[in-house]
Each structure stands twice: as C-alpha cells, then as structure tokens.
Amino acid sequence: MRRAIPDSDHQLPVVTTARSDAATAPGTMTTTVVRALARALTGAVYISGGYAVARAPGGRVGKAADTLAKIRRVVPLPIDDELIVRVNGGAQLVAGAALALGIKPRFSAAVLAASLLPTTIAGHAFWTVDDPSERRVQQVQFLKNMAMLGGLLFALIDSPRSAR
C-alpha cells in the first residue's frame, strides 16, 4: 500500500511503502520467526561439533597443545589438554543448544564466541602451513570461523526489543 506523507522540508508529499516498515519492525511475526531461525541454524553447528569433540577429541588435542601452552602463560588452566578440549566441546554443545532454543541467547553467544577464538587459532593457523593447497584449506576454514564469530557477535547484541 502506498501513501503520501507530508514532509515539512519539501513542497511535495513524499511517497512511501507502509509494508516495508511494518514487516521489519521489532517484535513483528517476521522478525520473531527470522530471529528464531537464525538462532536455531547457528546453534546447530555448535551442537553437532561440540558433541563430536566432547565424545572423541582425537587429533584436536595435538593441534590445541601449542595454543594451550601459550594461554597457560597468562591464564591458569589444567595441564590435561584432552580434558580442556573435551570441556570446550561440551561448552559448545550446551551453549549451542541454549542458543538454538532461545535460552539466554546473548550469554550463549558470548560463551560460543569465547570458545571459538582459541579453537580457530589452534585448529586453523593457516599462516604456519607451508604447503600452498593445505594453507588455502586452513585459510578458508579460518575465514569461515571468523564469519561464524560475526554471526555470534550479532546474536550477542541482538534484542527482541531493539529498534532499527
């Protein structure tokens, strides 16, 4: 539906489309459904990955060793690298499920973001890889994780009552 809205700065009325404002306004059915879908899709990645890591960390423990040693210089962490990798997977599983279900979504996004940073650095340090094809694979995975971090940052600042 088009309507003319008088504008005090212009002689002629400005024509706008009312639907565009109503469909994207905070709290509408559209934004509520999109927000829930975004949380579910984002959370699913962490539910799946977190479960796999918590259950069987495998080679991730060796990949994490150097990064964990560097973190231990400033943060007291347990010595057992496998335990830390499993706990990180568990944190991703629980926070991913909470995000997907809309339970404390901002807190869940913060936990996931804090978990994703060291995971990405430990697992996809493309700048340390000599083989060009493997370097490219790790760079793509690193950038994919950075995109996931961007989505988590959006979830972190999102509020159902936020204005456009």
Report the pLDDT value the prediction gives residue 31, as an integer from 0 to 100. Answer: 85
Report the pLDDT value the prediction gives residue 32, as an integer from 0 to 100. Answer: 87
What percent of the chain has pLDDT above 90? 76
Are 124 and 142 contacting, i.e. CB atoms less than 8 angstroms apart?
yes
Instruction: Give yes or no for residue 163 having a pLDDT over 50.
Output: no
What's the mean pLDDT in 86-91?
Answer: 96
Residue-wise pLDDT tens digits, 27-79: 688 888 999 999 999 999 999 999 999 999 999 999 999 999 999 999 999 99
Are 148 and 45 contacting, i.e. CB atoms less than 8 angstroms apart?
yes
